[in-house]
Structure formats: structure tokens, C-alpha cells
Amino acid sequence: MSEETIVKQDASQSAALPATQQLLAAARAELGRVIAGQSGVIDEVLVAVLAQGHALLEGVPGIAKTLIVKAVGRLLGLGFQRVQGTPDLMPADILGTTMFRPGADAFTFHAGPVFTDLLLVDEINRMPPRTQAALLECMEERQVTSDGVRRPLPPWFTVFATENPIDFEGTYPLPEAQLDRFLLKIKVSYPAPDEERQMLERHQASGGVNILEDAKIQPLPAELLAAARDEIRSIRVEHDLYGYILDLVRRTREWPMLALGASPRAAICLLRVAQAFAAFEDRDYIIPDDVKRAVLPALRHRILLKPEAELEGFDADRVLGDVVAAVAVPRG
């Protein structure tokens, strides 16, 4: 056993939330060998899996959105499928279909790519509304209904959908009802100069063919993932923090720059994300800073700006920053 492994085990044994800390340390070490930078994005992708929600990743092409999700799936030992959104994609293409087997004289259901743990839907806004609606049932009910038969999806089923923020030709914008189903909206930005240089050096060293395969990421034990999820669920929330979360959400509904504020579901999601961030800091209780950290990823896709606010140069993150600054922090 290496000295590094012993140090990690000692650290996890002294941690308040040992499973979460062990998983987080392994993720940062293993994924750091594949992905240059993007530590905040990796943390938020892990939040989506551990909180058993879904995430929308927004960023220009070529900044490792797909690679991050594939690498996390490899690390956590979860199944992975990818669907490319196109205007002619039909619901059966992602859900599966019932086909007649001549030899057996019977109909057999052939499962689609949604029957996996991590489903990456690239360019979800290129899928037609009918297919988006079919995916909505999978996200909300975690099941597929085909020919009147309900088929449950795997327990760890999580959708990661990507959007290109600058390309709108031939797209079908996601309706607010579907956006509200995503636990997080993760913004993936360009890497820093030193991180981009590190990326070039790694691709040169590996030949640039398949850096993920070359990294040989070792999957974590399944029981560690389940234990980390249970630790996050058990994070304590003081009475004042419930009020703080509700004050933030309700303030968005009356904010002058917003045409649509956050829904009641948004308050639940904000709480879940704050619990995960508290666990990442090795605390078994949340504090106001955890809630503040969760506001942008949990709420930025659940609000709608007024046209005049957009003309004045406001965006969702800026408005939410103003809302956070205007709501009193509980003292206790």
C-alpha cells in the first residue's frame, strides 16, 4: 500500500463525513490526470450524481463537457451512454422500441440508451419537442412507459445535457417546465492559460488518441458511492436556514428585473445542493455560505429576465448576485 493511500485513509477516518471526503479526494486526484482545471465543474457534476438530480451543462464546443461526464462515470463505476441531439431524433430512438421476433413469434422490447446510469444528451436543444417531452418523463419519473408497460430506470439514472450558448440555428429552446427538472445548470468556461498548456502537453504525451483510456482510471467501490449519498442526505439544516432559503427564492418572484421567479421546487433543489456543498467541506450541517454557493447553479435556469433587463446588460447570474446581496443572512 502506497504512502499516499495511507494518508488518504487516515484523513478519511478523521473526517466527519469519511465516505464523501474519500470520494472527493479520489475524484480530484484521478480526474485531475485527465482534465486540466475545471475543478468547480467537476464538483458540480459530482453534486448532480450524489444528490440524484440532473444537470444542464452550458459552454462552447471543445471545452471537455463530454470528457468530464465520461470520466466521472468511469471513476464511479457507472454505466454511460451518449445521445446526439438532432432535429429528426424520435422518442423511440432514446427510449427503446418493441420489435417482433419472427423465430420466437413474440414481441420483445429493445431498451434504448436511457437505460443506463449516466446519460449524456449532447445539444439537447436540437431535439424536437416531442422527444424532449419523452425525456422529461424519464427525468421526473425515472421510468419509461412503452406499450402501457412501465419499465424502471437504473437507480443512479442521471441526465447530463449540453447546450451551445452561441448557436441557435435549427434549435428548439427548452421550455421552462423542462428546465425546472434540472437540479443544476453548470456553466463550463474556457480553461486558464496554464491549464490549457497542461492540456496540450498531455495530449502530446498520449498521442491525443484517447486520453481517458490512457489514464486507466480505477473505479471506486459501489458501496463508497452509496455511503457518500447517504451522508449528504443526512446533513443537518437549522431552522433559520430554512427561512433563509425561502427568503432567497421568494425574493426572486418580486424582483423588478425578473418576469419569472424561482418555483417552490427551486427551494428544494437549493437545499439539496447546499447540503452537498456542505458535505464537500466536511461539515454535517449547512451554513449560509453553502446556500450562497448553491444559488447560481441551482437557480440560474429557473428565472426569466424581463426584456428591458437584458437590454441593459443584465444576465441571470448578475441578477441572482443582487438578490443574494439584498437578503439578510441569519445570525445564529
pLDDT in tens, 277-315: 999 999 999 999 999 999 999 999 999 999 999 888 899
pLDDT value, residue 169: 64
The three grid cell numbers given for residue 250, joined into one nine-digit string: 421568494
Residue ranges of the chain with pLDDT lower than 50? Answer: 1-12
Which residues lie below 8 Å from residue 155, measured CB to CB, with a gap of 6+? none
pLDDT value, residue 224: 93
Which residues lie below 8 Å from residue 157, measured CB to CB, with a gap of 6+? 114, 116, 117, 119, 138, 142
What is the phi-psi region of residue 139: left when phi exceeds 0, alpha when psi lies from -120 to 50, beta otherwise? alpha
Could you tell me where in the chain the CATH 1.10.8.80 domains are found? 234-326
Query: Domain 17-205 falls in which CATH fold?
Result: Rossmann fold (3.40.50)
pLDDT value, residue 280: 95
Gyration radius from the chain CA atoms: 21
pLDDT value, residue 10: 47
What is this structure's pTM? 0.88
pLDDT value, residue 268: 96
* 264-280 vs 18-31: helix crossing angle, rounded to 10: 80
pLDDT value, residue 33: 83
CATH assignment, 234-326: 1.10.8.80
Tell how strand 258-260 and strand 184-187 pair up. unpaired
User: Could you tell me if 212 and 34 are in contact, meaning their C-beta atoms sit under 8 angstroms apart?
Assistant: yes
Could you tell me where in the chain the CATH 3.40.50.300 domains are found? 17-205
pLDDT value, residue 285: 95
Amino acid present at 191 = P
Which residues lie below 8 Å from residue 80, measured CB to CB, with a gap of 6+? 69, 70, 73, 74, 116, 117, 118, 120
